[in-house]
Amino acid sequence: MAHFKTYQELDIYKLARDINRDVWTLIQDTSLAKDFKLRDQINGSSGSIMDNIAEGFGRGGNKEFINFLSYSRGSCFETEAQLQRAYDRNHISEDTFKAISLKTQDLSDQISKFITYLKSTDRRGSKFD
């Protein structure tokens, strides 16, 4: 948070937004559109990745941000599991599943590293400046 004025500047947010766009494209372009429960779940979880990064950043404190980043990381795993279900139900191809799944795995790793950084820094967050 020390070097960023907005959450939109964070690489983790940019990747989360990219994943959310990928999921929305799947919803629009595949039979996933008619699997209402799964469609709504994956749309919600992929959006939650972004939303929790934004909300945590907006709290202004590292402890709260870390908490929301952990929710975001959990939503990455949830989205990946729902992608697996979409693949198992033949809504998406194996290549599509693997491509988006790799992004969710990369993002969860990046979030973990960012959490580690926030825990190690002496700066407590913008609300403490």
Does position 78 have pLDDT exceeding 70, yes or no? Answer: yes
Total-model pTM: 0.93
pLDDT above 90: percentage of residues in the chain: 88
CATH number, domain 7-121: 1.20.1440.60
Residue 124 is classified by DSSP as -
Q: Which two tokens stand for residue 80?
A: 């990946």
Average pLDDT over residues 75-90: 98
Q: Which tens digits make up the pLDDT trace of 98-129?
A: 999 999 999 999 999 999 999 998 888 777 77
Does position 25 have pLDDT exceeding 60, yes or no? Answer: yes
Q: Beta strands of the chain (E only): which ranges?
A: none
Q: How confident is the model at residue 32 (pLDDT cuts 50, 70, 90)?
A: very high
Q: Which tens digits make up the pLDDT trace of 39-60?
A: 999 999 999 999 999 999 999 8
Whose structure tokens read 């979880």?
A: 45
Does position 37 have pLDDT exceeding 70, yes or no? Answer: yes
Residue 1, pLDDT score: 41
Residue 4, pLDDT score: 81
Mean pLDDT score of the chain: 95
Compute the distance between CA of residue 85 and CA of residue 92 in angstroms, rounded to an integer: 9
Core vs surface per residue 52-79: b (16+ CB within 10 A) or e: bbbbbbebebbebbbbbbebbbbbbebb
